[in-house]
A and B are shown apart, each in its own frame.
Chain A
C-alpha cells in the first residue's frame, strides 16, 4: 500500500503530468541565475534586459502591469526612474476646462504601451496582436526556456515547407510560423557596462528581465520558503520524538 502511494506521488509531480498538449521536441534548458532553491536576480542583467525591452520590444509590446516605480527594484535610483518615466507621455484629465491633456509620465504611472488599444496594435502588425509581456513567462509552458529558445530560434525556412505571407520560420513556435520577425541580432543593442552584446546575451538578459516582470517576488519567496520549510521540518522532528515517546506505552 505504501509503495503504491509512493509511486502515485511520484507520477503526480513528474513534470509532464499536467501538460495538456503533446511536446514533440524536448525543450533545451538554459542556466538561469534565478533557478533553484536559492535563485536570485542579477540586477545588472535586469537593467540590461530592461534596456533591450525598451529599445527593441517596446515598439510593439506593452507591459501594462508594470509601473515605472517598479524599476527601483532592479537597481535604478529614484532620480533615474523619474527621468525614465518622464520620457513617456500619458493622457490625463479632465482639467478645469473639461479637456483631456497630455503630461509626462511619473513613477506612479503604468508603463506606457506603444498602441492605444488592441485594434490599433493589430492594424499596425498585419492583424497580429503583439502580446503584453508583463506575465508572458508564466503564460507559456516552459516559461523562460521557451521564450529564450524562441527568440533565438529563427532559421531559414527549410526546403519543402510553405509559410504564409508576412510570417517567419521559427523552430519553437507552435506550427513553426511566427508573425514577429527575429528581434535580436548580435550587437543590436549597445550595453554601457561593456557586457558582450551578442544575440544570446541579449536574449538571456531580456528573458531575465521578463522573468522578474512576471515574478518580482521571486527572491523574497524563495528566501521565506527555506525558513518555512525548515520550521515545519524542525517542528516535525520534535513532534515525532514526542509522539514516539508517548506511543511507546501503547505498544
Chain B
C-alpha cells in the first residue's frame, strides 16, 4: 500500500482514466470529459507537488517496485513538470475542440494515457519498463495527431511521426539489447554496477551508448535527429502540438538524465575529453544552430515553436554536457529548465489556441498583427511566453538559461565556449520571438486583412492564467524552485 501511495501521481491517472472511460461509455448525457481529465491531472499535480515538498525520498518501499520504477525526488519533480504541461494542453484542448467542433472524448483519454506513459518513462529504473513507458507515451501521441481524420496534413504528420518513431524505437531497443548483452542486466543499477566492476564488454557498452543516445535524441528532437519535428508539430492540432513539444520532450530528457547519470555515469565514460560529454556538447551546439537558424525564416508559429523546441533541446544538452564537472548544479539546472520550458511553450500554444475561433486558427505570425492593440490583456501571455523563451528577466527563461550556462561555464574548457555559443544563439532567437511580440503590439493590420478573432472560452483562459503565473513566478522567485530542483537532483546521486 505504501508503494501505491508513493506512486499516487501515476496511480491516480491510470485508475481515474479508466473510470472516466467507463463513465463516458455509459452516461446518457454528454459528459464534460475535458473538465474531468483536467481535474484528474490537477489532482495528480497536487499530489506530486505535495510529495515533493513533504517526503520526496520515501523509504521502506518494496524492492519489487523500486527495481522497476524510481520513487525519488527526481521522479516527483518530473511528475510535476509533466502534469503541469499536460494540464495546460488539456485545458487548451477543452476550448479548442469545442470551438472548432472537433469534440471527441477519446482524445482526452489518449492524452491522459500518454501522460501516464511519460511519467513511467521519466521514472523508469529498468530499460524494459523504460521502453514500455516510451511506447505507451508515443502510441497515444500518434493517435492524437491522427485524430483529425479528414485533414491530410494531420494524417501525413501522424504517419511520418509513426514511421520515424518506430525507427527510433528500434534503434533504442537495439542499444538496450546490446547493454543487456554486455552486462546481463536490464535494470539501470545492475548495468551500472557491471560497468563499474569491469565485468562488461567495452565494445558492446560503447555501442549500447551510441544507440540509446540516438534513440533519446530522436524523442527530444535534438539535431540531427530532429527532422520529424516541424512536420509533426505543424500537422497536429494546436493543443496536441503543445502536448508533444513539452510532455514528450521533458519525459525523454528526464529518462535520458536517469540513464546517462546511472548507466553511463561511470567517471571513465564521463571523461570530459574522451567520454560522452564532448559528444553531447556537439549535439547541443548542432541543435542550437539548427533550431535557431531554422526558426528564422518560418512564418507558421507552430513551425517556429518546433524549431525553437530543437534549440531548447540544445540548451538542455548544454546542461548534460556539464554533468561531469558539476553534477548537482547541472542536474538542478536541467530540471529547472524543464519547468521553465513547460511554462513558456505551453503558454505560447495555449495563447495560440485562444487567438482562433469558429474553425479559423491563428497560426501564422501575420495572423497576430495588431492583436495586442485590440485585446491587450489576452495577448499578454503570448508576449510573456516569448520573452521567457528568449530568456529575458523577469521571466522563467532568464534564470533557466542562466543556471544552465553557469553550469557549463563552471565546467570550463570547451563547455564554457559552448555556453558562449548558447548565449550568442539566444541573441539570434530574439529575432523570431520578438517578431511575434512586435506583430502583437507594435503593428497595425493592413486594410482589409483578415484579423484573428479570439475565442471566448474559460478553459484556455484558465490555462493562460496558470501558465503566466508559473512563468512570472519562476522569473521573480527562482531561488525557491531552484532549491527544489537541487533537492530533486540529489536523488540521482544517492
Asked if A and B are interacting partners, one says no
Chain A interface residues (CB < 8 Å from chain B): none
Chain B interface residues (CB < 8 Å from chain A): none
